[in-house]
A and B are shown apart, each in its own frame.
Chain A
């Protein structure tokens, strides 16, 4: 135990020491702090309306039931741990009781999941700001939520995991019971809708259930759900001393489950090995050391790589096209393309009057996120292969980006052609949309590469810091495009026909040409810190 306390303590101390030594490491921390501050800062514009107590409390209780059932269910399967390979190699093999190691794992998991749970706390915070909830009640509720969601649910998962390991068959019983419960609830709701109609169900029966959940005296005696109900109710109305008793009940239950788990003789290391490897891989990617591994287990299509009479940098292009084909249903048509096709067809049928320029602007804004780091070239620059290829940097850049441009072109055709045909738009405008979309995507691909180079030059090797620099750079180069759109909308009426296309095309091509000059150097040497596995 002493060794694990030493490990946790030293890790925290060194985290701050490291920030002092390398201030750029603080970037992600600063962003998180700013985000948290904004999140919990009182929203002055929030409408102080009277949110329904029944709706709030019942939704919260249902949320509690769902998270509880999820914890039970996931506990019967493989528990995703926060252990990584350093824990496996150094802690698992040490003469420390597995129960103590598990305790250390829970502490690690709670600490790491705390930040992830802040998003849900934000939703609660926003809601409370609109519901006249006092500051004390808000604070108490955050503490209760953390106690329930992070502490109790995580301990419950482990408790169930340990019990399922101890008693074979228990996992199946729990899973079947949960499935039966869900089928029962869905069945009753469906029967009710069939019998009395949807309107009565949504306006009558659900309200009755919500009222029962909120006001029924018996509910508060149900462990966990009843306690959470009472706490939510008191936060919405007025706090009583019993609030602290309910909080104590959650702590006590967590402690009892933990105590039982701790005292059961367990051998759980094997079950943790897979998630430890995955966590290690994620950690390596985050620190800029590892290479991206696909977490998708869908098998690739069997498409042969044909490189006959293809030499030098050309090979990159054909390799990329082959990779796209292997990951797509047909040629370059993947899941994303299907979604685009559906959107295009639905808009073409139901929104015929929609200006194609609006569709162009919407889809182009999505490219802002997908074109930058989505291209295949980003897999290449974390691999030595492209650097050792005996060809000019210009050719590597051209062939490296070419496949992404073809993919963007395919997507553009899928978006604009069905919509154009179904809503009878001008052929010229459809073609202009496609050309501008490809030019815009090309520019964002080049700029993503340059942003990557700038981030590396500034010493930002972590994935979060890298991503932030990337976003910042993309935003800067998008500003002129936004100005073009604003001029088109406000100064020249109705987008002035084709002006917007012409202006965006000129900007995208000029910017791409300039940015590509800055990108070429990326292939000159392999000494970019963090990109190559040392």
Chain B
């Protein structure tokens, strides 16, 4: 479970995020949307613990910067970046060790096979294309068995098969009770997944609503997005 309370973040005098609050319950997928510069990445980076901020962020009841909080959190960045001299398999080993995950080998094999990386597991990070690096990033995040998953632009750089697999995995994690936050511009790609939509504009939430709150409305995410960001 992810709880963000009164989160504000300033870069110098610019207020990038203004006092936002939201909760993502276990098994819930929250879609974080908004125009460029709305503050989505700042929120993601704050939750991951990369930024200093005002407010409180809790992951499964623990502070997001504590060891226990971090142990429950996984992050898939928009721009993947791997260690050039580590092979794909070694990246997975590294992440498993860093998160104190034991007996990860079977899961690692499953993930690598899902993303067509099994036969390339001995390739170095520097030898991979951006798309493959993205797939490795996903595997690195998923091997940690997270309770909260943050994904920044999940489908960028992936081939169609990987996109389908990614959607299946996100669904699987959702069913396992993982809280997922997806930041994306490709709203169509998460149409079937979402449980909560959070739309940001100028550092503030202009909408934070659960799927069931839309009752009988049959609007797509894209329609909801334009309704709240245009005009």
Q: Is A199 an interface residue (CB 8 A)?
A: no
Q: Is B14 an interface residue (CB 8 A)?
A: no
**Which segment of A83-91, A151-159, A297-305, A400-408 sits at the interface?**
A83-91
Residues on B with beta carbons closer than 8 Å to the beta carbon of A172: none
Knowing A88-B50, A267-B52 are in contact, say whether A95-B98 is a contact too (CB < 8 A). yes
Q: Is A238 an interface residue (CB 8 A)?
A: no
Report the separation of the CA atoms of residues A10 and B92 in the bound assembly, to the nearest whole angstrom: 13
Q: Is B51 an interface residue (CB 8 A)?
A: yes
A 248-276 binary contact with B (CB < 8 Å = 1; else 0): 00000000000000000001011001000
B 81-94 binary contact with A (CB < 8 Å = 1; else 0): 11111110011011
Residues on A with beta carbons closer than 8 Å to the beta carbon of B67: 95-97
Report the separation of the CA atoms of residues A2 and B99 in the bound assembly, to the nearest whole angstrom: 11
Residue of B nearest to A88 (CB): B50
Assess whether B65 is in contact with A95, with CB atoms less than 8 Å apart.
no
Residues on B with beta carbons closer than 8 Å to the beta carbon of A273: 50
Report the separation of the CA atoms of residues A289 and B48 in the bound assembly, to the nearest whole angstrom: 28
Most buried by B among A11, A270, A273: A270
Most buried by A among B86, B90, B98: B98
Q: Is A15 an interface residue (CB 8 A)?
A: yes
Assess whether A11 is in contact with B86, with CB atoms less than 8 Å apart.
yes
Report the separation of the CA atoms of residues A269 and B87 in the bound assembly, to the nearest whole angstrom: 26
Assess whether B85 is in contact with A86, with CB atoms less than 8 Å apart.
no
Report the separation of the CA atoms of residues A94 and B95 in the bound assembly, to the nearest whole angstrom: 8
Residue of B nearest to A98 (CB): B65
Most buried by B among A11, A90, A283: A90
A 69-92 binary contact with B (CB < 8 Å = 1; else 0): 000000000000000111011111
Residue of A nearest to B87 (CB): A14
Report the separation of the CA atoms of residues A280 and B125 in the bound assembly, to the nearest whole angstrom: 14
Residues on A with beta carbons closer than 8 Å to the beta carbon of B94: 3, 6-7, 10, 90
Residues on A with beta carbons closer than 8 Å to the beta carbon of B99: 94-95
Assess whether B97 is in contact with A93, with CB atoms less than 8 Å apart.
no
Residues on A with beta carbons closer than 8 Å to the beta carbon of B130: 533-534
Report the separation of the CA atoms of residues A88 and B44 in the bound assembly, to the nearest whole angstrom: 13
Report the separation of the CA atoms of residues A88 and B82 in the bound assembly, to the nearest whole angstrom: 10
Q: Is A18 an interface residue (CB 8 A)?
A: yes
Report the separation of the CA atoms of residues A96 and B52 in the bound assembly, to the nearest whole angstrom: 17
Assess whether B73 is in contact with A10, with CB atoms less than 8 Å apart.
no
Q: Is B186 an interface residue (CB 8 A)?
A: no
Assess whether B52 is in contact with A84, with CB atoms less than 8 Å apart.
no
Report the separation of the CA atoms of residues A97 and B50 in the bound assembly, to the nearest whole angstrom: 13
Q: How far is the CB of B28 from chain A (nearest CB, A)?
A: 21
Report the separation of the CA atoms of residues A91 and B82 in the bound assembly, to the nearest whole angstrom: 11
Q: Is A287 an interface residue (CB 8 A)?
A: yes
Q: Which of B68, B85, B90 touches A18 (beta carbons < 8 Å)?
A: B85
Assess whether A89 is in contact with B85, with CB atoms less than 8 Å apart.
no
Assess whether B73 is in contact with A287, with CB atoms less than 8 Å apart.
no
Q: How far is the CB of B8 from chain A (nearest CB, A)?
A: 14
Residues on A with beta carbons closer than 8 Å to the beta carbon of B70: 93-95
Report the separation of the CA atoms of residues A91 and B140 in the bound assembly, to the nearest whole angstrom: 11
Report the separation of the CA atoms of residues A509 and B81 in the bound assembly, to the nearest whole angstrom: 46
Q: Which of A322-373 contact B (CB under 8 A)?
A: none
Q: How far is the CB of B1 from chain A (nearest CB, A)?
A: 17
Assess whether B84 is in contact with A93, with CB atoms less than 8 Å apart.
no
Q: How far is the CB of B165 from chain A (nearest CB, A)?
A: 21
A 212-249 binary contact with B (CB < 8 Å = 1; else 0): 00000000000000000000000000000000000000
Q: Which of B74, B93, B137 touches A6 (beta carbons < 8 Å)?
A: B93
Most buried by A among B51, B84, B137, B140: B84
Report the separation of the CA atoms of residues A514 and B193 in the bound assembly, to the nearest whole angstrom: 62
Residue of A nearest to B9 (CB): A270
Residues on B with beta carbons closer than 8 Å to the beta carbon of A3: 94-95, 97-98
Assess whether A93 is in contact with B50, with CB atoms less than 8 Å apart.
yes
Report the separation of the CA atoms of residues A6 and B86 in the bound assembly, to the nearest whole angstrom: 10
Q: How far is the CB of A477 from chain B (nearest CB, A)?
A: 32
Assess whether B80 is in contact with A89, with CB atoms less than 8 Å apart.
yes
A 187-205 binary contact with B (CB < 8 Å = 1; else 0): 0000000000000000000
Assess whether B97 is in contact with A11, with CB atoms less than 8 Å apart.
no
Q: How far is the CB of A90 from chain B (nearest CB, A)?
A: 6
Residues on A with beta carbons closer than 8 Å to the beta carbon of B79: 85
Residues on A with beta carbons closer than 8 Å to the beta carbon of B65: 267
Residues on B with beta carbons closer than 8 Å to the beta carbon of A89: 75, 77, 80-81, 137
Residues on B with beta carbons closer than 8 Å to the beta carbon of A18: 85, 124
Report the separation of the CA atoms of residues A3 and B82 in the bound assembly, to the nearest whole angstrom: 15
Q: How far is the CB of B16 from chain A (nearest CB, A)?
A: 12
Assess whether B91 is in contact with A90, with CB atoms less than 8 Å apart.
yes
Assess whether B124 is in contact with A270, with CB atoms less than 8 Å apart.
no
B 28-45 binary contact with A (CB < 8 Å = 1; else 0): 000000000000000000
Q: Which of B86, B124, B137 touches A7 (beta carbons < 8 Å)?
A: B86
Q: Is B126 an interface residue (CB 8 A)?
A: yes
Report the separation of the CA atoms of residues A336 and B126 in the bound assembly, to the nearest whole angstrom: 37
Q: How far is the CB of A213 from chain B (nearest CB, A)?
A: 44
Residues on A with beta carbons closer than 8 Å to the beta carbon of B100: 95
Residues on A with beta carbons closer than 8 Å to the beta carbon of B68: 95
Assess whether A269 is in contact with B50, with CB atoms less than 8 Å apart.
yes
Knowing A3-B94, A93-B48, A267-B52 are in contact, say whether A287-B81 is a contact too (CB < 8 A). no
Report the separation of the CA atoms of residues A91 and B75 in the bound assembly, to the nearest whole angstrom: 11
Residues on B with beta carbons closer than 8 Å to the beta carbon of A88: 50, 81
Q: Is B26 an interface residue (CB 8 A)?
A: no
In addition to A6-B94, A89-B75, 8 A-B residue pairs with Cβ atoms within 8 Å of each other are A7-B86, A10-B85, A89-B80, A92-B49, A92-B50, A94-B70, A97-B67, A534-B129
List chain B positions with a Cβ less than 8 A from chain A.
Answer: 48-52, 65, 67-68, 70-71, 73-75, 77, 79-87, 90-91, 93-95, 97-100, 124-126, 129-130, 137, 140
The 12 sampled A-B contact pairs (Cβ below 8 Å) are: A84-B81, A86-B82, A86-B125, A89-B137, A90-B82, A93-B50, A94-B95, A95-B67, A95-B71, A267-B52, A270-B51, A287-B126
